[in-house]
Chains A and B, each alone.
Chain A
Amino acid sequence: MTTFARFWYRYASPASFYPLAGRLTPLFAVIAVLLAAAGLYVAFFVAPTDWQQGEAYRIIYIHVPAAWMAMFIYLVIAFWSAISLAFNTRLSAMMAQALAPTGAMWAFVALWTGAFWGRPTWGAYWVWDARLTSTLILLFLYLGYIALRASIDDPRRADRAAALLALVGAINVPIIYFSVRWWNTLHQGATISMTAAPKMAQTMLTGMLLLTFAAWAYTIAVALYRVRSIIVEREAASGWMSRLAADSRGQSDDASASGAMAR
């Protein structure tokens, strides 16, 4: 067995992934905060004002990373779902479950910030543009995924049912995107398109990339934190979890005992 395979097999077990996730969560949280601070500084103090859209364009520093993450996280969920269906691994299903609320949040943020950007730029909070419509449908796909999982009591069944739904959705996402795009071009004249926008200044791109990586690191930190909670919830009855709980209880007992003695 190669080292690579051994690494994957080792951390496919919730028992060994739990402490690893616990160590990685603060690391990615710190990275997210640092990148977000740097990105926001570039976005608001360094990047020039857009000659066409004025200051309102600065909302894209939040909007574009959110939209990218919303689409990307759905693919990651589909990936973990495929792994969990193919290899019947518990942890990959838990990862998919942990990512879904964050993905839905990014889709919502993308729509909300898009509405605030669209009002000064297009003169309307909402237009039936292909990107907007497909992001809205993506949000509904996330909500359906979360709702299906929440309405099945047995966690293993919920894992497998939600995984199949995520895969059906992933096949459908490109079809939805292109059908919506075609529908839009047939119906109404072209709205301002992002692809036709003037080429971005270097500092604008830097700010956007910094914030994208910040959003990425935030997603990883939150997903790892959530997956730890899910592991605790599901594995509460398992041996390693009760040993872990006993260890930490022992430590706190020691601490309170020494505290009592000091008193």
Chain B
Amino acid sequence: MNIQGDRHIYKRFDKEMQYLHNLVVQMGRLAVNQLEDALDTLQNENPGKAYDVISNDKKLNDLDLQADDEIIRLIALRQPVARDLRVLISIGKIVAELERTGDEARKIAGLTIRFFESDQKPPSEEILRDIYSLSAYVINMLEMAIQAFDDLNLDLAADVLIESAQLDNQLKSILRRLSTFIMEDSRNVGHFVDIVLGIRALERFGGHSSNIAGHIVFIEKGIDVRHTDDKTILRNIRDVYVKEFDTALSEKAHESDSGEEGR
């Protein structure tokens, strides 16, 4: 009598778990697409498309409900334990995170509508630059998180957490830069609040990716890392990562500083 790898004796249970797994990956890709599309509307000054992005958010909401229904059904019918239980509970949380990333993408599409449908002069490319760069950053984070989930790859989840810590540093730099713009040219004041709200939405988008990484740690290690600082989480993943974490942070901080100086 041996363990059959990852397969259950009840093959249907395997299929049901795989279905949920695929649903998460599908939602992740959709969330990434939503933010990419929202960003596209901003770059192409296309409020019409922005409305499409907003209405497409319903797809994510529907998948969220679908996943929850399936999770409740599986808990009731299969009475999962151990890893199966951790996977199901974590998927329930991951889909909620993904649904919220969709909401954040919708907020970016909302910026397009406010900037380009009003009579007010739209913000300059210069002031939007940080939205673009931050979007690329958090899209990458979510892609990594989804990949980490798809492969149940703890190392990649750890990378997401490192990126998340770096995101905080980036935000500080961006807000500093924005303040300078306002001081240099007071005509930018009108858009300042919207830009900050957009940046806040992107920061939350990245935060959800980081939470997803935490849920992957729970699946793999059985340790609940919510409300825990990133260093402790990384220590739980792999001791070596604590050192790597410090090194990676200082390297990125250095890159970020030299980038800022170059502008």
Chain A partners chain B: no
B interface list, Cβ under 8 A from A: none
A interface list, Cβ under 8 A from B: none
